Structure formats: structure tokens, C-alpha cells
Amino acid sequence: MSLTVYGAPLSPFVRKLRLCLAEKGLDYQLEIVLPFGQPAWYRELNPLGRIPAFKDGDFDLADSSVICQYLEDKHPERLSLLGQTAEQRARVRWLEKYADYELAPLSTFTVFRNRALKPSMGRPCDEAAVQTALMSEKLPPHFDYLEQCLGDADYFVGDSLSLADLAFACQMVNMEHGDEQLDAQRWPNLAALYARIKARPSMQAILPDEQKILAKMSASA
């Protein structure tokens, strides 16, 4: 079995896949592909040009959620991150999708992109866009909803770690890379969940490298 993840460590979707692999105890190689200026061969793995893509031997796939679900189906003997019952599995998919499609445009593609990525590429940060994402009716209502979904449980679904928790935490990492923290006074349960996921060995194994990349990026800004 030879598993390869194609992508870059600071992408929340690449991070989600790497955490999923680590939580399942699956070894893989990371082949760096950036989300821009990709080599022509990458289009064969993902014609949309987005990261991550993935190879299991000769079999290739794209999209973090699709790849994580493949890993779930392929390795039923390993830790399940999708929930046990039909209801739990549906709930995990909903919350994973919520993080990937509702949080990401704000936490990653607005806060992180403007504060961390653009300056490292010699482009100005659009601070007004960042403030709108943070302060207005953008991120806060999403956090209100997720805080209510979590309640005082340790994890979003079924009292155990799932892709819902990982997808949410991955977006929070990018927000933090963009110098913003989840307000623990306002969303205490979400902040505690994030701290819990961040402390896991799977996350601790990859964050130091991410910090190094960020430091290099801010040195070149």
C-alpha cells in the first residue's frame, strides 16, 4: 500500500486529509503541490486544479471529503471518523460540509488569504474585507450555530472524534494563521473543542512545520 497526498500544508483541506490519515494510523507521503502555478501533470489528478489530490497505488482521487470517505470505506477496521449510525453519518457530513463551504470562504479565503498569503506574495491585505468577515453578520452567526450544535459535548457527533470536528478545527487553524482567535468568552464550547483537537498528536505532528512555513512567508512579506 503506497499512499500519496498532493497539496500544501497550509491548505485546510489538505490538513483535514492529513489528520484523517494520521487518526486512522495510515502512513503516506506528502508531495508538495501549491494551489497556484501547478505543474501540468496535476490536472490529470484534479482537472479543477484544487488541492488536495490523492493516490492509493494506481488509484487516484480528488477532494478532501471524497478522499476521507474513500479511506473510511477502504479501511473499515480502522478508527471511524464518520459516525456509527445513519443519523450520525449524515450529521458528520453536514457539519463537515458546513465547515468546508460556509466557514472556509471567511476563515481561510478571507482572513488567512488577506493577512498571511497575499502579503507573502507582495500583494496588499484587504483589511476591510477581513473586518467584515469577523465583525458583521458573517462569521459570528456561523459560530453561534456551531456552538449550539456542539452544546456541552466533547465532540460534534456521537461523543467521539469525527470529520466534523477535524473540518471545523482545520478552518480555525487557518483563521489563527491569519492572526485571529475564536472568542472563548462568546463561544466557550467551540473554543474548548478547538483546543482539544489542537492538542491531539495528529495535529501536533503537523503544526510545527506549518509555523515554519508561516514564518518564512512573513519574512518574505
- In angstroms, give the least distance from the CB of 179 to ligand GSH: 18
CB 41 within 8 A of CB 33: no
Residue 35 contacts ligand GSH per CB under 6 A = yes
Which residue in 173, 206, 162 sits closest to 68, CA to CA? 162
Kindly indicate which of the ranges 21-29, 45-53, 77-85, 144-152 contains the residues binding ligand GSH, using the contact rule CB under 6 A: 45-53
Report the distance separating Cα 3 and Cα 150, nearest Å. 33
Pairing of strands 53-56, 59-62: antiparallel
* Closer Cβ to ligand GSH, 11 or 69, answer by number: 11
- In angstroms, give the least distance from the CB of 65 to ligand GSH: 5
CB 51 within 8 A of CB 67: no
Residue from 23, 63, 96, 176 in contact with ligand GSH (CB under 6 A): 63
Residue from 24, 45, 54, 64 in contact with ligand GSH (CB under 6 A): 64
Residue 178 contacts ligand GSH per CB under 6 A = no
Question: In this structure, what are the phi and psi dihedrals at residue 12, rounded to the nearest 5 degrees?
Answer: -65, -25
- In angstroms, give the least distance from the CB of 189 to ligand GSH: 25
Residue 83 contacts ligand GSH per CB under 6 A = no
Residue tagged 512545520 (cell numbers): 209
Report the distance separating Cα 112 and Cα 119, nearest Å. 10
Residue 105 contacts ligand GSH per CB under 6 A = no
Report the distance separating Cα 211 and Cα 208, nearest Å. 5
Residue from 6, 18, 22, 52 in contact with ligand GSH (CB under 6 A): 52
Residue 38 contacts ligand GSH per CB under 6 A = no
Kindly indicate which of the ranges 44-52, 85-93, 135-143, 183-191 contains the residues binding ligand GSH, using the contact rule CB under 6 A: 44-52
DSSP string across 98-145:
HIIIIIHHHIIIIIIIIIIIHHHTT----HHHHHHHHHSSSHHHHHHH
- In angstroms, give the least distance from the CB of 193 to ligand GSH: 20
- Residues interacting with ligand GSH, by CB under 6 A? 11, 13, 35, 49-52, 63-65, 100
